Amino acid sequence: MIPTRKDIHPGSHVRIVQKHDQRPGMLTEGVVREILTNSPIHPHGIKVRLETGEVGRVQQVIGVA
């Protein structure tokens, strides 16, 4: 199940899928700097920016700050 916006906070440790990794399904792990999606849910995942600057849609929340 894809996490909703209420499950994600700045500082959360997450796995995202970046646009160029959608077909192979590669996930990138990192810490959320900013939540970019305003709606409470999105069918492909809430879009976030990681502290490294990478942008993608959250597929899993590993830990919450």
At 11 the pLDDT is: 97
Rounded Cα gap, residues 23 and 4, in angstroms: 22
Query: How wide is the angle at C-alpha 64 spanned by C-alphas 59 and 65, nearest 5°?
Result: 140
At 1 the pLDDT is: 85
pLDDT values of the chain reduced to their tens digit, one per residue, 65 residues = 899 999 999 999 999 999 999 999 999 999 999 999 999 999 999 999 999 999 999 999 999 76
Rounded Cα gap, residues 40 and 34, in angstroms: 15
Its domain, for residue 41, covers: 5-63
Number of structural domains the chain divides into:
1
Report yes or no: 36 and 43 within 8 Å, Cβ to Cβ. no
At 64 the pLDDT is: 79
At 53 the pLDDT is: 98
